[in-house]
Every structure is written in C-alpha cells, then in structure tokens.
Amino acid sequence: MEIEDIYRKFKNSNSISTDTRNLAKGCMYFALKGNNFDGNNFVQKAFENKAKFCVIDNPNANINANCILVNDVLTTLQELATYHRNKIGIPIISLTGSNGKTTTKELINAVLSTEYKVKATKGNLNNHIGVPLTLLGFTNDLDFGIVEMGANHQKEIEFLCNIAQPDFGLITNFGKAHLEGFGGIEGVIKGKSELYDFLRVNNKTVFINTEDNLQTKQISDYNNVTTFGANLNNDCIVTFNKANPYVSLKYKELEIESQLIGDYNFGNIAIAISVGQLFKVKPENIKEAIESYQPDNNRSEIINRDTTTIILDAYNANPTSMLAALKNLKQLKADNKYLFLGDMFELGKDAEKEHQNIVDSVNTNFAKNVYLIGQNFFKTKSTEGIQKFAKFEDLIPILNNLDISNSTLLIKGSRGMALERILKYI
C-alpha cells in the first residue's frame, strides 16, 4: 500500500499505538518487532481493544480488511512520520547533546508556551521509534514542534534528522556519554554534530553556545546562526550569577531565579532563553517560564526531608555529568555531605578508566560518607573513607542505619542502577 493511502487511514484514526496494553479506541496500531516480541502476534488483541487499523508485516496476521500489510512496519512508521511532518508544515526545533537534553527541551517548551501553541517530545521518546511517534502527535494548528533526539552511535542523528527535517537545532553539549557506541569523545562530537550538518546543508538555523569552545569552532561553517552566552557580541546575552544551590542568572536587566541546581544547568537555561528571544517572547514571560519550571523524573530533583536535603539525579549518568554533579556538591554549604554514586553504563573499553577517574576525584574532594554501587565502581582503587558495593542489595543494611540529619545527599547513577530506590531506606 502506498504511503498516501496509509496516511489517509491515519487521518481517519484517533491516535497511534505500538502497545496493545494501553492503546486508545479508534487508534492505528503498528505491530513493531523487538528482541523478545513480535507485534504481529497481537493484532487480534488490538482489534478486541478497539483499534481501528493495524499495520502489519506478517501475512499470517492479515485477519481482516482493516489490516494494512507492508514490507516493514518500523520503516512504514518512519516514512509516515516524515510524510505527516511535511503535510502539516509547522516549524520544528530539534535538539540533541550528551547531557541535559530533556531538561532543555522542557525549558524551551515552557518558554515558548507562554505565547505560542507548542508540543514537544514526551519523556525521552527520542530514538528511531520515539521521534516518529512524536511527529505523528503534532497537528497543523501548532506554532512549533520540539523534537528531542538521542543517539548512541554514528549516523543515528543524521537518520533522525531525515525523518524530522528540523528547521532549527541546537546541541546542549558534547560529553563522555555512550563512548562504547560512538568510539570515544571525538566520535561523540562527530555524531552529535550530524544535527548541525543537516541544518547547514539545508540552510536552516543553529543555536550556538559561545561559552562552549567545541561549538564555537564551527560557527564559520554556518549561514544562519544565533549565538548566546555572556559575551556582549552574542545575539542573546545571558550572564551567570551563581548556583548555591539553584542557578540564578541575568537577562535584559532581569534577575532570573531558577529551580534548577548546578552551574551545569546554566547552559540549558540560556538555550531556552535564546530560543525565546529569537521568536520574540517577552522577557518577562521568559523569566516567568524559567522560574516556574520544576525538574522531575529523577533529574536533579531537590527533595527536602526535615533537616536533610537530597539531590536526586538518578535518571542517567556519564563521566561528564558525574564530574559536574561532584563539582556542584563540593561548592554547596552543608554540615555533612553524603555521596551515593552508581555505575555509568555504555562506556565500553573506557569503563575502567572513567570509573577510576570519578573515584580519584572523590578521593581528592570528599573524605567520608561516600558509597559506590555497581560492578565497575567495586573494582576501582579508593581510599579508606569510601565504601563500595558490588550490588545494590549489599548497600541496604547500611542505609537502614544511617543518620542523615543535617546533611546534603547526592544520589547519581545510570538509569539501569535505579538508585532512586535509596529513598525507601533513608
């Protein structure tokens, strides 16, 4: 079936679903395959749950006239998303980066939403499936669509750009994330820069943080550039004030007090401000949006319990974000500080070295109350003040007997470590 015909059926559906467990009545179900499942096996269940159409790639699943048989369901989903994106024709802002993507996306959404109708990627649906689903959720009455793009190997961002075809783009930063897939930090820079490459070739607009030397090296290659940072020559001038613990900054004579911790979040806020300025959002609305935004989902959350302050940053971790979190904790004023650090994943051959680098930093800056969890941290060399646990369960007896009153805690690790579990025991 041609993509135009599938699109007509999509427009006659209420929504898109890839999971029969939570699909909506009247939706178009895409029978995707995974390592341990085949969506073609659930077509009957999809119709029982009131799906209107089912897109399949197994002829044996073709049980009625509302089944749409294609060569490959995933490819069809991606092609349909691009077709829809071109049909509705709204401006698309895309972003990627090693750290801070989701926070930055939410900040941009908050700023633009004060004056425009905007829709953005939900959660972290930022891969080869999530980006198409995001695009198919956009409508032609929107002023902007915001698409987050994640990647863990070369050519992935390029592939996502060809699906989303963004008009504006930005990279939060280049950091030591997904080193295994990218092949080192140079690979990270090359892979993330595929967004800028797409925008340059198509004469679209890029946002450049002039505080980031890795980004400023590329400015001369682009025709349409919006710069931001503290330098007075920038298109958008944003000045960092402090982060103790919350980031405060200055923009157009306005003092902005955010609810985000750590000076590493200054760049994320500055990006959102620069996007708002380019699209002529009133400065006072930008200020209100930034100050109202509260992080959640285990991303730099501040949790106050009586005399204890908990920094919960357990959504993800890599060497760059881990060092930034340690730097932030060191400069905070607190009677006692506790560190709970979990393994960083997808580092490949660099895993041993990068975990040791973190421990070396901890050895230098924190003398006590340090707890390292995971196989990689367990293998590192450390001082006597550091306790190491090969698995989370070994930590639980310690947690049950800790007195953390009048203290500040940092909890940080990769998503697979699920260190938010610590909150149940302290």
The residue ranking higher by pLDDT, 335 or 32, is: 32
Domains, the chain, ranges and CATH? 3-71 (3.40.1390.10), 89-292 (3.40.1190.10), 301-424 (3.90.190.20)
**Over 80: is that where the pLDDT of 298 sits?**
no
**Over 70: is that where the pLDDT of 6 sits?**
yes
Q: What is the mean pLDDT of residues 34-44?
A: 94
Output the pLDDT for position 357: 95
Q: What is the mean pLDDT of residues 319-344?
A: 92
Output the pLDDT for position 110: 98
Q: What is the mean pLDDT of residues 249-254?
A: 96
**Over 80: is that where the pLDDT of 182 sits?**
no
**pTM (2 decimals)?**
0.88
Tell the burial category of 384 from Cβ atoms under 10 Å away from its Cβ (0-12, 13-18, 19+): exposed
Task: Kindly report, residue by residue over 115-156, the tens digit of the pLDDT.
Answer: 999 999 998 899 999 999 999 999 999 999 999 999 888 899
Q: What is the mean pLDDT of residues 231-246?
A: 92
| Torsion angle defined by CA atoms of residues 396, 402, 407 and 408, in that order, rounded to the nearest 10 degrees | -10
Output the pLDDT for position 220: 63
Mean pLDDT of the chain: 93
Output the pLDDT for position 219: 64
Q: What is the mean pLDDT of residues 329-346?
A: 92
Q: Which residues touch 282 (CB under 8 Å, ≥6 apart)?
A: 114, 115
- Residue of 252, 212, 240, 210 whose CA lies nearest to 227: 210
Output the pLDDT for position 218: 63
Q: What is the mean pLDDT of residues 90-114?
A: 95
Task: Kindly report, residue by residue over 366-390, the tens digit of the pLDDT.
Answer: 978 999 999 999 999 988 889 999 9
pLDDT band (50, 70, 90) for residue 177 = confident
Assigned token pair, 4: 């135009």
As a three-state string, the secondary structure of the chain is CCHHHHHHHHHCCCCEECCCCCCCCCCEEECCECCCCEHHHHHHHHHHCCCCEEEECCHHHCCCCCEEECCCHHHHHHHHHHHHHHHHCCCEEEEECCCCHHHHHHHHHHHHCCCCCEEECCCCCCCCCHHHHHHHCCCCCCCEEEEECCCCCCCHHHHHHHHHCCCEEEECCCCCCCHHHHCCHHHHHHHHCHHHHHHHHCCCEEEEECCCHHHHCCHHHCCEEEEEECCCCCCEEEEEEEECCEEEEEECCEEEEEEEECHHHHHHHHHHHHHHHHCCCCHHHHHHHHHHCCCCCCCCEEEEECCEEEEEECCCCCHHHHHHHHHHHHHCCCCEEEEEEECCCCCHHHHHHHHHHHHHHHHHHCCCCEEEECHHHHCCCCCCCEEEECCHHHCHHHHHCCCCCCEEEEEECCHHHCHHHHHHCC
Task: Kindly report, residue by residue over 99-108, the tens digit of the pLDDT.
Answer: 889 999 999 9
Output the pLDDT for position 315: 86
Output the pLDDT for position 311: 93
Output the pLDDT for position 359: 96
Task: Kindly report, residue by residue over 184-224, the tens digit of the pLDDT.
Answer: 888 888 889 899 999 999 999 999 999 888 888 766 667 78
